[in-house]
Amino acid sequence: MDYLWEGLVQAGILITTFNPEVYQITWLTLQVSLGATLLASAAGIPLAVLLTEGAFPGKESVITLVNTLMALPTVVVGLSVFAFLSRQGPLGRLDLLFTPTAIVIGEFILATPIVVALTIAALRGVDPRVRETALTLGASRSGAARRVVLETRYAVVAAILAGFARVVAEVGSALIVGGNIRGYSRTLATAIALETGKGEFAFAIALGLILILLSLMTNISLRVLVPKA
Amino acid sequence: MPFVLQDVDVKFGDRNVLAIESLAIRPGSITVVMGPNGAGKTTLLKVLAGLTNPAHGSLAYGGAQITPENVALLRHKVCLLHQTPLLFDTTVFENVAFGLKARRVPKADILQAVMQALAVVGCLDLMKRRARELSGGELKRVAIARALALNPEVLLLDEPLANVDQMTTKALEEVFGEIEKGGGTLIFSTHDPRLAHRLAHEIVVLTDGRLSPSPYENLFAGRPLTEGETSWFDTGRVRIAVPPALSNTGHISIGSDEILLSREPLQSSARNVFQGRLTRIEERTKGVLDVAVVAGESFTVRLTHQSLQELGLTVGDPVYITFKSTSVKPL
């Protein structure tokens, strides 16, 4: 059991002495997971509004599909993105494989269904009078939709947080499409997997602690930042 | 005409909730939509507000057909106040300013309009409060102010006076006054006939989603009085013989089917015979006419086209109307 205790002490030292590698990995993780969550929200929330308010054939099937995609295995996403971005793939010429951008793409695919599905659930729970009231007061359709999203903002923020939680600690896709390249495309989760495998418990535990702290900080700051309007 | 509805059908699933052959609502008037719960009153208001799309049929406002493309223009002129209004989860100010911002009113004017509207309903001191913190009465008054701030051409109100406190009733009366003064049109629903008759210029009656021939034709306000053995109802212009049981009512109506029209006074058991002048002839449905006769009050008499032809009557002719006292119904 000594090595566990030793690992914790080492982790404390790595964090408090601002070990450059630890902070580089943390910074990259924050960038890719926040970037992916942001993109997933930008695409997912309007999509959820369309799927809630729109009337078109097959709408319920699309919603069922989105709900299913919430459970998409990360390695399958990694594999698909890899196939598209690899040299022989249709997007191979973009040279994105084993870059942070590739990680963002994979994580975007993982986070979007979660943001969409949970936002739909939130929007369906909104009092129908919100939309009607906005419309009768003269709001445009998009203005009314914006008001509906604002009325349910706590639930929508929860959907965004769930999307973030899905990607911040994600290993499968990030490992496959990011390549876990030291100092370039290594995230907290992929680094933990690697360091554990190498027996570098102190480093792995330090990264694990930071990962948990990161999630905590993100949750707290988003809660505080929820618009009051 | 601000509103003209033609063959309007609204369906919820397979159920027909509204089926209106033809309805016109005059501008600058107070129209009351009456009917029991579930008769389609709210649905009719939502159609007029441009919130519910009829399955088929046409809605015109100010002479222009309303389509999904231009319904936004209608919504800038017409505002609906729900029976239980909803305030957005923000401040009172933002709520009242919402419609003004949607109309891109300059910022300085918004503040002024919001303050003015809140002052009318006596809620100026609530401006900075959050909507969720208001009491039920305050909420309703703020919702009224929110509609009033937009100065709509037509204000639609769903059961505005149901379950409201005294202050809200007062605020509503202020609003009614403001709208009327500005030449606006008020349309509200109620299931309270007394309220309808106190305020309305026109009454639309809905039953099971259809327009009913109003059970309140030839509607008169007045007071009952008794002289000896005879009971009367005095409208101030005419005295109508009524059954003794009617000694308690302030409103009566007489079915237009139950009034006879003639050139000469009829010899009959009917107690009410009035001389008057035929002032208007309108086709109600195919072959059936509504004829207006002014005999102190204005009476509507329904008869077939053929009957009128046989009588040889036309607008301006002197006529007699006759009806039994038992045809007079209290409200």
Segment among A121-130, A197-206, B133-142, B315-324 with least mean pLDDT: A197-206
At CB < 8 Å, which residues of chain B contact A? 46, 49-51, 72, 75-76, 78-80, 82, 84-86, 88-90, 94, 98-99, 102-103, 146-147, 150
Query: So what's the pLDDT on residue B253?
Result: 84
Q: Residues of B with CB below 8 A from A127's CB?
A: 86
What is d(CA B204, CA B186) in angstroms, rounded to the nearest whole number?
13
| B3-211 CATH fold | Rossmann fold (3.40.50)
Please enumerate in sequence order all residues whose Cβ is within 8 A of that of A212, keeping only pairs 6 or more positions apart, or say none.
none
Say if A132 is an interface residue toward chain B (CB within 8 Å): yes
What pairs with residue B252 in β-bridges?
B220, B330
pLDDT along chain B (331 residues), means of 10: 87 89 86 88 95 91 91 94 95 97 94 95 94 93 94 93 85 82 89 76 85 74 84 89 79 87 92 93 82 89 92 93 90 70
CA B269 to chain A, closest CA, distance in angstroms equals 56
Query: So what's the pLDDT on residue B59?
Result: 94
For residue B133, how many other CB atoms are within 10 A of its CB?
11
| B251-330 CATH fold | OB fold (Dihydrolipoamide Acetyltransferase, E2P) (2.40.50)
Residue ranges covered by each domain of chain A: 21-225
3 state DSSP class of A82: helix
What is d(CA A142, CA A49) in angstroms, rounded to the nearest whole number?
10
Query: So what's the pLDDT on residue A219?
Result: 82
Q: Is A160 left (phi over 0), alpha (psi -120 to 50) or beta?
A: alpha
Q: Residues of B with CB below 8 A from A138's CB?
A: 72, 75-76, 79, 99, 102-103, 150
For B132, nearest residue in chain A (alpha carbons): A151
User: Where, residue-wise, is CATH 3.40.50.300 in chain B?
Assistant: 3-211
Query: So what's the pLDDT on residue B216?
Result: 67
User: Where, residue-wise, is CATH 2.40.50.100 in chain B?
Assistant: 251-330
Contact A127 B102 (CB under 8 A): no
Contact A139 B102 (CB under 8 A): yes
Tokens read off for A32: 């890719």
pTM (global) more than 0.90: no
DSSP B172-218: HHHHHHHHHHTT-EEEEEES-HHHHHHH-SEEEEEETTEEPPPTT-S
Count of helix runs (H) and strand runs (E) in chain A: 11, 0
Please enumerate in sequence order all residues whose Cβ is within 8 A of that of A82, keeping only pairs 6 or more positions apart, or say none.
A89, A97, A176, A177
| Confidence check: pLDDT of A38 > 60 | yes
**Per-residue pLDDT reduced to its tens digit, A137-186:** 999 999 999 999 999 998 999 999 999 999 999 999 999 999 999 999 99
- Confidence band (pLDDT; 50, 70, 90) for A203? confident
| Confidence check: pLDDT of A227 > 70 | no
Across A99-108, average pLDDT? 97
CATH architecture of A21-225: Orthogonal Bundle (1.10)
Of B46, B38, B36, residue with least CA distance to B17: B38
Among A135, A136, A156, the residue to mutate for chain B (most B Cβ within 10 A): A136
Contact A138 B99 (CB under 8 A): yes
Please enumerate in sequence order all residues whose Cβ is within 8 A of that of B54, keeping only pairs 6 or more positions apart, or say none.
B8, B9, B10, B18, B47
